[in-house]
Structure 1
Amino acid sequence: MALDIITKPSGSELANRISETLIQLFDQVKPGVVQVTGKGRGNGAGVVWRADGAILTNQHVVGNQDSGIEVHLPDGRKFEAQVVARDSTLDLALLTVAASDLPAVPVADSSQLRIGEMVFAIGHPWGIKDVVTAGIVSGLGTVTAPHNGRTATYIRSDVVLAPGNSGGPLLNAEGAVVGINAMIFGGDMSVSIPAHVAAEWVAGIPSRRVYLGVGVQPVELPETLKVGDWSERSAGLLVVATEKGGLAESHGVFVGDVLMEIAGTPVKDAESLRSALNLSQRGSSIRLGLLRGGTVLALDVNITDTAGQ
């Protein structure tokens, strides 16, 4: 929603319109701005890049961690995240969580930004959740990042940022992402990674989606099959077909098996299966939890060669 400022409004009218627009923009975007936490590290922010569980944040928010990263959504949901890719030069990291219904924030063409344009930031400074600040674009160009000494393209603005804003979105007056907030220089200049640079980087990440090669259908478990750690589970996925030469068949999955979990994530329908596979896409192997004739089985499936499928 754009700022609607007509010719020669009074000072109070202009302030009220800007204020109302900012309130509406915050309500519109807030569901897609997450908090990212990690063991032994400070909190940062992130933006829901895609509804399928893709979260974009700064590399310095997650560091070199591969585990212990959590994503907290404004609706109260919490997910363990895996790092899909990271780039210390751009200071970007792409995370994935086991969800497929996230409220993605629209992304604008930041190459069209103009100096003087109003921009807004939403983040969690000093651990205080969902704080909005506003300012204007004060410069476009390159800066040398203090964390690695490398030069990259950035947006400069006077939007107030603090620790905890890193990885959150810089937004235009339409509520679309124009940048990923990255750092503060000298206390009064904030720097953000242009959204079009981030989008190009994400688009260049090789796909590693896992294709098991199975046909499945949801099935309710009879009491006789509720065994062991799965005694409280009510449903799973019945394998009704396997693709010849596919991952599942080549690793010993049979028609009639009931798939219960993937890499520790329960599966019971198409959505949970897709989310579990997305979460597993960066590993070299995944463990399938199966029921076969009342017996619990664990099969390790090597997915090293499935990139791009």
Structure 2
Amino acid sequence: MKNLSKLLLVSILGGALTLGSYKMFFEEETPAGLPPVSNTSTELIPANYSGNIYGTNADFTEAAENTVNGVVHVKNVAVFKGPRSMRDLIQGNHGGGKALQGAGSGVIISPDGYIVTNNHVIREANEVEVTLNNNKTYTAEIVGADETSDIALLKIDAEGLDYIPFGDSNNVKLGEWVLAVGNPFNLKSTVTAGIISATARDLNTYDATPQSFIQTDAAINPGNSGGALVNINGELVGINTAITSQTGSYIGYAFAVPSNNTRKIVEDIMEYGDVQKGILGIKGGSINPRAVEEFGLETTQGVMVAEVTEGSGAEKAGLKQGDIIRKLDNVDINKFSDLTGYINSKRPNDEIEVIFLRDGEEREAKVTLTKFETYTIEPIKIEVSNASKEELQALNVENGVKIYRTLSPRLPAQELVGTIITAIDNKNVSSVSDVERIFRNKNLAEDIVITIVDRNGEKQRMVWR
């Protein structure tokens, strides 16, 4: 995966998107109030359905006609209450106004106006405007967003809308035809065709949360962020998010957030107000030639367990260091991003079946996912998570929380991620709840003093003003 990230320069459609991975298998399924998979049936038609849906020769016309009206243009608008510049002040323009900060696409997922787009499309928006394919324009409410997955949920006040039903992204196959549908320039929806080039692709650009993308060669360009990737049945299998390019334009590689992950995130936001993240409770990595040679393994595919988190579902189910995970609920796990992508579609307390190898013998275990808690320290753009006893002992500290990831490119992620925060404003912290309580009662106009222990065990104090 790291070799891939060195080859790819990630260009984000319509905004800046942080992609990447960390080496812990943490993360997330789906109930709640979205419409069934199809307009005419509550049964899921698999994405790899081989029946004659639109003709033997893969005619795209009906799929395109059924999806273009489900894709919208999204404008990120800044609203100014006073003069925006010195020129406005000199000219006596004190009335404020609006300015376009960015634009992208969105996908209508229900007839009553719920719309999915990318978080980077609507980030820091004062107002979001949505234009349908019939040129009707609405002001949208931002229901919620998840920066990690780059998914946001909008709502407009409308009824009877054309929408795109969810397909099952676990069933997409290499070489399967797909359409990329977007509304990039508010010129009505556009459609391009391609195939599934890869699944569970981890760009691994930064040392942050791992992602699991669907890769396609359907042409996607700036402004298509948040648009739909649909299969030949007209079902949503992904939300188009990023391209790889040295020029900023499409050169044959595009990436989409799988629909199963998207649906789970959307339903979490609708039901809980935020994303419910579950963890398997292990650390490890994909099997590589070095691991095969060093450990004398008989397989070249899977995820090798390096450590089992104390008190986790994995520990309670009996998983151990050295086990090789091959399947989760009959989904093949050939590499790290296969595992994280599947876990990201689940919730805390979900039970999954894990098929693994131990000493060359295949075994199975039922693992109940536990909740992964994080808190974003918004003023300094740092997200923290609970630290394990092993992580605290390794740095010889008694308490603290771990810097899980940084949310600003200005921060040195490689130096900060994985370090332990032991105190905030001279108050000891032992959990995410401690951090949340401190900032809930804090005047954010005051300085923020953070005491950290770096990976070398050295204590530092950092002050944000």
Classify the TM-score, shorter chain: 0.5 to 0.7
Report the Cα distance in structure 2 between the residues aligned to 1:81 and 1:89, rounded to whole angstroms.
Answer: 22
Amino acid across the alignment from 1:122 = V
Check the 8 A contact 1:142/1:151 in 2, yes or no: no
Secondary structure (helix, strand or coil) at the match of 2:218 reads coil
Task: Give every structure 1 segment of 4 or more consecutive aligned residues whose post-TM-superposition deviation is greater than 4 Å.
Answer: 145-149
After superposition, where does 1:119-268 map in structure 2 within 5 Å?
A: 119-126=178-185, 128-144=187-203, 150-186=209-245, 187-207=251-271
Per-residue CA deviations over 1:90-119 (Å, capped at 9, x if unaligned) read 010000111122112111011111111110
- Paired residue for 2:101? 41
Per-residue CA deviations over 1:235-266 (Å, capped at 9, x if unaligned) read xxxxxxxxxxxxxxxxxxxxxxxxxxxxxxxx
Amino acid across the alignment from 2:76 = G
Secondary structure (helix, strand or coil) at the match of 2:264 reads helix
Change (3 A) 1:151 1:128: farther
Report the Cα distance in structure 1 between the residues aligned to 2:53 and 2:170, rounded to whole angstroms.
Answer: 18
Secondary structure (helix, strand or coil) at the match of 1:205 reads helix
Report the Cα distance in structure 1 between the residues aligned to 2:170 and 2:228, rounded to whole angstroms.
Answer: 16
Report the Cα distance in structure 1 between the residues aligned to 2:60 and 2:164, rounded to whole angstroms.
Answer: 16
- Paired residue for 1:80? 139
- Paired residue for 1:25? 63
1:70 and 2:129 are equivalent in the alignment:
yes
Change (3 A) 1:147 1:92: farther
Consecutive unaligned residues of structure 2, counting only runs of 5 or more, are: 1-51, 78-99, 246-250, 274-465
Check the 8 A contact 2:213/2:256 in 1, yes or no: yes
Report the Cα distance in structure 2 between the residues aligned to 1:108 and 1:145, rounded to whole angstroms.
Answer: 26
Amino acid across the alignment from 2:254 = S
After superposition, where does 1:98-109 map in structure 2 within 5 Å?
A: 98-109=157-168
Check the 8 A contact 1:35/1:73 in 2, yes or no: yes
Q: Quote the offset at 1:205 in angstroms.
A: 1.6
Check the 8 A contact 1:43/1:127 in 2, yes or no: no
Change (3 A) 1:114 1:34: same
Consecutive unaligned residues of structure 1, counting only runs of 5 or more, are: 6-16, 210-309
Q: Quote the offset at 1:4 in angstroms.
A: 2.4
Check the 8 A contact 2:141/2:156 in 1, yes or no: yes
Report the Cα distance in structure 2 between the residues aligned to 1:29 and 1:2, rounded to whole angstroms.
Answer: 15
Q: Quote the offset at 1:124 in angstroms.
A: 2.6
Amino acid across the alignment from 2:55 = D
Number of equivalent positions: 195
Amino acid across the alignment from 1:23 = T
Secondary structure (helix, strand or coil) at the match of 1:159 reads coil
CA RMSD of aligned residues (A): 2.2
Report the Cα distance in structure 1 between the residues aligned to 2:207 and 2:123, rounded to whole angstroms.
Answer: 12
Report the Cα distance in structure 2 between the residues aligned to 1:80 and 1:197, rounded to whole angstroms.
Answer: 26
Q: Quote the offset at 1:23 in angstroms.
A: 2.0
Match of 1:113 among 137, 162, 172: 172
Per-residue CA deviations over 1:105-142 (Å, capped at 9, x if unaligned) read 11101111111111001113455432110100010113
Report the Cα distance in structure 1 between the residues aligned to 2:269 and 2:211, rounded to whole angstroms.
Answer: 19
Check the 8 A contact 1:160/1:190 in 2, yes or no: yes
Secondary structure (helix, strand or coil) at the match of 2:67 reads helix
Check the 8 A contact 1:108/1:178 in 2, yes or no: yes
Secondary structure (helix, strand or coil) at the match of 2:102 reads coil
Report the Cα distance in structure 2 between the residues aligned to 1:101 and 1:75, rounded to whole angstroms.
Answer: 13
Secondary structure (helix, strand or coil) at the match of 1:27 reads helix
Change (3 A) 1:144 1:111: same
Report the Cα distance in structure 1 between the residues aligned to 2:133 and 2:54, rounded to whole angstroms.
Answer: 25
Per-residue CA deviations over 1:200-256 (Å, capped at 9, x if unaligned) read 1111124489xxxxxxxxxxxxxxxxxxxxxxxxxxxxxxxxxxxxxxxxxxxxxxx
Match of 2:118 among 49, 58, 62: 58
Change (3 A) 1:44 1:145: farther
Report the Cα distance in structure 2 between the residues aligned to 1:59 and 1:168, rounded to whole angstroms.
Answer: 12
Check the 8 A contact 1:138/1:158 in 2, yes or no: yes
Report the Cα distance in structure 1 between the residues aligned to 2:128 and 2:67, rounded to whole angstroms.
Answer: 23
Q: Quote the offset at 1:41 in angstroms.
A: 2.4
Per-residue CA deviations over 1:160-194 (Å, capped at 9, x if unaligned) read 10011110100000011000000101332100000
Report the Cα distance in structure 1 between the residues aligned to 2:192 and 2:204, rounded to whole angstroms.
Answer: 23
